[in-house]
Amino acid sequence: MRTWRWISVFAVLALVLVACGQQGISQPAEESDPPPAESGDAEPTDDGSMDGEPQSGGTLVFGGAALAASLDPALTSDGESFRILQQIYEPLVDLVPGTVDELEGVLAESWTGEPEGTEYVFTLKEGVTFHDGTPFNAEAVKVNFDRWQNFAEEFQGNAYYYGAVMDGFGADNLIESVEATDELTVTITLRDPSPTFLYGIALTPFSIVSPAVLEATNADDPTASTLGTETVQGGTGPFVMEEYIPDDSAVLARNEDYHGEHTAYLDRLIIRPISDPAARLQALQGGSIQGFDLIAPGDRSAVDGVDGFQLVNRSSYNTLYLGVNPTATDDSPLQDLAVRQAVAHAIDREALIEAFYGGGGSPADIFLPPTSGWFDSVGEGAEVYEFDPGAAQTLLEDAGFGADNPPTVNFWYPTEVTRPYMPDPRGLHEAVTTMLEDAGFTVETGSAIWGTEYIPAAQAGTYDLWFLGWTGDYDDPSNWYGVHFGFAQGEPAAAFACDPEGLEAAIDEAEATLEEGARGAAWSEVAQLVHNEVCFVTLVHGDTAIALTEEVRGYVANPTGSESFVDVWLSGE
Amino acid sequence: MTKFIIRRLLLLIPILLGLTLLIFVFTRLLPGDPATTILGERATPENMAIVREALGLDRPLHEQYLQYMGGLLQGDLGRSFITNRDVVDDFLQRFPATIELSVAAILFAIAVGIPLGMYTAKRRGTWVDSAGTVVSLIGISIPIFFLGLMLKWLFAIQFPILPDSGRIDLVDYYVPRVTNFMTVDALLAGEPGGVIDALRHLVLPALALGTIPLAVIMRITRASVVDVLNEDYVRTAHAKGLRESVVDGRHILRNALLPVVTVIGLQTGLLLGGAILTETIFTWGGVGRWIYDAVTARDYQIIQSGVLMLALIFVLVNLVVDISYGFLNPRIRHS
């Protein structure tokens, strides 16, 4: 009998617990926070986001795939880290929201300097203070630039963007000098002209950190630095870091002294890491978060047009491509240009977009997405391969292949990963394999784990055909074609072994061409060589989307995924 | 008893030393390294060489091992290759979440498993017993990820009476982390509502995680009680006219408990090692997911030191179980 008593007690306790909590089920903001200020009418806009008179107050819980890899902005290079850190830290300049090629001042009031020149003079905003109370000035900028340039070797691995933008570290890199000319003027002198310098320093890793915090956290000492791990008040952004619990949450609170047009509307912004996209959707539906990024294309219908939710589409700034390496295997049929062209004609990109991107994407005619300011000038003259299985078969026949002796290629895809440009690697691989087989290829398929096996093997030039993609860091063709097809010591990138005559010289020429019109034409030369030789087949620019509850307003999606929450507010409806 | 404990603790030294070597070798046998994780799409051979050099991965393996052991002997378990966070700090930040979840799961398993095992044993051969066997088999066989997702779908989305994930409602309750035990921190923050909310967040993951231990405990209890029921002293107790509850508690359960305690100890040790699937489904930031992520990212330092700390805890939990035998049954003496 006692047994039953125990069970009864346990059951009653469980019921009480559930009942007690009924009133505490995760609430939309209006139930937890009294709606401050008067409410304005909110109407859906064309892009699905809502508009209206912003109100202050409330807490927004947003689901990311992960928290920050480091809390030291200079040591991060991934979007999840940027999402958190760019709310706290700010660079001198940033992209105008919604664009990829327009810059605006953030900590800099204005600047002078041209891509053809080597001197940039920044006039800084007056009256800005770091979250710790330290005044922001020219000396603070110099301290940060000097720190990055002199990073200890142990830091250099994680400081990817500094190395990439400034051509390495140390006294011989792109930066010749950084001078605090006066309290609010910084002069940065480059060793050589760099058309990407300004776009580079708009990235989150170039955010300025309070010198006092740098010193207090031993930020220059790889074995003792706590800047990347502790909750510190070193930024100038619209939010301050209140608490950071790895794998649990990043709690940001409004910076009441923010120097921008207005302080953040939200009292608090909490980022929760939820690695699984399906779990993020469930958390939104269950009410424990009010928004999340990178909704799986297949899940869009669960949010889009559904009462209580909204979907904010983000134009893509990425490209999925099929890497084509003619030297990966001996006697590869891909050594014949006609066979490579047959691969390009065999793939129905519209069908891929419909099946795997929920219709949210566009066929990638060239590597650069249409959102790029360089799209038209660089794309000029590059060969576009339309879906044409008949043409593919004819090309194979011309190359001496047929039903009796089909060309055999190996084709690989990564596992344990999804990317905005590659939402379902396995599904995409199956579809493209079928398309290639329909065109007359014999395909040997393979898969490997993304970070640990696939990437190194692909980069080493092991695979005939393979999926990979790219999300632009900043809007310059060098960040697309240059990064992928650049030569090192006279050798082409092993991943593609792309070495048509004149490519190396064309890339050197394009890198050195600074005037905008001429630069577009120079990179167009590169694009023509690469596309016409079918060094890769660009497939899809995949749009992404943010899922939000209806009450979230003011979220502006950026193609780069770099988004501030300063204008986000809760409607209280 | 003291000698026994000291001997067991001394035995830990060669065990842990052997473990360090094993884990070191196994992690280095895995394909890839942290450089590829850090760089992602940007992992060109040149970039990877820079990162490997920065992380010291370009040095010979024996040098890397000796450097790790050197740090270990000085109490330095190292820093994550990916985040540069101190491994011990990371562990201590996550372990309370794992303890909280494990304790809730094991309490649920004990509270339901032992009475059910006892109940079915006393009705062996009846339909109740058969039903109990079937239920426990289902409990052992059901995949946790399926059970977790179903529980979540049912009780958090279809009939939203419990939270779907996380450890507390972050909108309603802002609880500064002091101990990282959410229930305790909510109490310290003067948020009684937060304590209840934290307990509510524990329910679904604890049910998902506790189901297998529940089934195991129930089966062992049943088998053990069935053995004891046939003993002479139980018959004698009944013949003396003792109350049923006294016979059950003092004569049957106490004597049947020894194997059950062993199983509870083992299960607790396993749960403390982290529950990757449950932690993933319910977004519970514990050590299981932490180690899993480290393995995926080839974060050698976390794998080496994290697994070492978990192994130490597992051995210590087992030691506690062994010691508890002496209290449960005074006839058992360790010498």
Q: For B186-206, what is the mean pLDDT? A: 93
Half-sphere exposure of A230 (CA within 13 A, CB side): 13
pLDDT confidence of residue A277: 82
Residue A203 has pLDDT above 80, yes or no: yes
Instruction: Look at residue B164 and tell me whether its pLDDT is greater than 80.
Output: yes
Contact between B177 and A243 using a beta-carbon 8 Å cutoff: yes
How many alpha carbons fall within 13 Å on the CB side of residue B290?
Answer: 35
Return the closest-CA partner of residue B142 out of B153, B134, B130, B132.
Answer: B134
CA max distance for chain B: 85
Helix (H) or strand (E) holding A468: strand A465-471
B84-93 pLDDT, tens digit each: 888 998 899 8
Average pLDDT over residues A469-476: 89
Residue B175: closest CA among chain A residues belongs to which residue?
A: A243
* Mutation for testing the B interface, residue in A167, A218, A317, A459 having most B CBs under 10 Å: A459
pLDDT in tens, B219-264: 999 999 998 888 888 888 888 888 888 888 888 888 888 889 888 9
Interface test mutation site (partner B, options A30, A31, A241, A248, max chain B beta carbons within 10 A) = A248
Measured between beta carbons, the chain B residues lying within 8 angstroms of A451 are: 32, 36-37, 40, 296-298
Which one is predicted more confidently, A157 or A105?
A105
Rounded to 5 degrees, what angle do the CA atoms A85, A91, A94 make?
A: 100
Q: Of A33, A25, A83, A23, give the one whose Cα is nearest residue A56.
A: A33
Distance from CA of B329 to the nearest CA of A (A): 23
Binary contact (A18, B170; C-beta < 8 A):
no
Sheet hosting strand A108-112, strand order edge to edge: A108-112, A119-124, A185-190, A175-182
Between A11 and B88, where is the model more confident? B88
Question: What length is written for chain A?
Answer: 573
Tokens in use for A245?
């619990």
Burial class, A191, CB count within 10 angstroms (exposed 0-12 / middle 13-18 / buried 19+): middle
Residue A292, classed as helix, strand or coil, is strand
The per-residue pLDDT for B332 is 64
Instruction: Give the residue-averaged pLDDT of B177-189.
Output: 92
Which residues from chain A sit within 8 angstroms of residue B283, using beta carbons?
Answer: 272-274, 279, 283
Does B163 sit within 8 Å of A2, measured CB to CB? no
Look at residue A573 in the predicted model and tell me its pLDDT. Answer: 63
Q: Which residues of B touch A452 (CB under 8 A)?
A: 30-33, 36-37, 296, 298
Closest Cα in chain B to A72: B83
Q: Kindly write down the DSSP assignment for every residue of B186-237, as one continuous string.
A: HHHTT-HHHHHHHHHHHHHHHHHHHHHHHHHHHHHHHHHHHHHHTSHHHHHH
Task: Identify the top-confidence range among A2-6, A421-425, B13-17.
Answer: A421-425
Residue A260 burial by Cβ neighbours in a 10 Å radius (0-12, 13-18, 19+):
middle
To test the contact with chain A by mutation, choose from B123, B157, B171, B191 the residue with the greatest count of A C-beta atoms within 10 A, namely: B171
pLDDT value of residue A21 = 43
When CB atoms are compared, the residue of A272, A452, A493 closest to B166 is: A272
Query: To the nearest whole number, what is the mean pLDDT of chain B?
Result: 86
The pLDDT value recorded for residue A34 is: 34
Q: What is the pLDDT of residues A497-537, one digit of tens each?
A: 999 999 999 999 998 898 888 999 999 999 999 999 999 99
pLDDT of amino acid B187 = 93
Report the complex ipTM.
Answer: 0.74
Q: Identify all chain B residues contacting A4, using CB atoms and an 8 Å cutoff.
A: 115
Residue A38, pLDDT above cutoff 50: no
A456 or B134, greater pLDDT: B134
Residue bearing the bigger pLDDT, A92 or A34: A92
Residues forming beta bridges with residue A467, ordered by sequence position: A322
Do B76 and A219 contact (CB within 8 A), yes or no?
A: no
Q: Which residue of A has its CA nearest to B113?
A: A7
A90 secondary structure, DSSP code = B
Decide if B173 contacts B194 (C-beta within 8 A): yes
Q: How confident is the model at residue A215 (pLDDT cuts 50, 70, 90)?
A: very high
Cα nearest neighbour of B55 on chain A: A154
For the segment A202-210, the average pLDDT, to the nearest whole number, is 96
- Rounded CA-CA distance A70/B86 in Å is 12
Query: DSSP assignment of B9-48, as one string?
Result: HHHHHHHHHHHHHHHHHHHHHSSS-HHHHHHGGG--HHHH
DSSP strand pairing (A268-273 vs A249-254): antiparallel
Residue B272: what pLDDT?
Answer: 83
Task: Count other Cβ atoms within 10 Å, centred on residue B206.
Answer: 23
Pick the more confident residue, B141 or B273: B141
Q: Give CA–CA dist B49/B53, Å, rounded.
A: 6
Backbone angles phi, psi at A270, to 5 degrees: -120, 125
Distance of residue B235 Cα from the nearest chain A Cα, in angstroms:
19
Q: Give the Cα separation of A539 and A352 in Å (integer).
A: 9
Q: Is the pLDDT of residue A453 over 90?
A: no
Q: What is the pLDDT of residue A5?
A: 52
* Chain length of chain B: 335
How crowded is the C-beta side of B258, counted as CA atoms within 13 Å?
14
Predicted pLDDT of residue B312:
86
Q: Write the pLDDT tens digit of every residue in A355-369.
A: 999 888 999 999 999
Q: Show residues of chain B in contact with A20, CB under 8 Å.
A: 196, 200
Select from B37, B48, B90 the Cβ nearest to the Cβ of A246: B90
> Nearest-CA residue of chain B relative to A480?
B42
Banded pLDDT at A16 (limits 50, 70, 90): very low
Name which of A465, A525, A477 is nearest A501 in CA terms: A525
How far is Cα A160 from Cα A171, in angstroms, rounded to an integer? 17
Query: What sign results for the dihedral spanned by CA atoms A468, A426, A360, A85?
Result: negative
Q: Tell me the torsion sign for CA atoms B308, B311, B315, B316.
A: positive
For B11-62, write each residue's pLDDT tens digit. Answer: 888 888 888 899 899 888 887 788 877 777 677 777 778 788 878 888 888 8
Selection from A251, A455, A12 nearest residue B38 by Cα: A455
User: Is the distance from CB of A257 to CB of A238 less than 8 angstroms?
Assistant: no
Q: Mean per-residue pLDDT for A219-244? A: 92
Read off the pLDDT of each residue in B69-96 and give the average, rounded to a whole number. 87
pTM of the full structure = 0.80
Residues of chain A in contact with residue B256, where contact means CB-CB under 8 angstroms, are: none
b or e along A197-233 (b: 16 or more beta carbons within 10 Å of the residue's beta carbon)? bbbbbbbbbbbbbbbbbbeebebbebeebbbbbbebb
- Mean pLDDT in residue range A36-52: 43
C-alpha dist (Å) from residue B170 to A28, A289, A350, B47:
11, 9, 42, 40
Q: What is the pLDDT of residue B274?
A: 67
- Residue A11, pLDDT > 60, answer no
CA of residue A58 relative to chain centroid, distance? 28
Residue of B nearest to A2 (CA): B245
Which two three-digit tokens encode residue A493?
């990138």
Q: Would you say B52 and B33 are in contact if contact means Cβ atoms under 8 Å apart?
A: yes
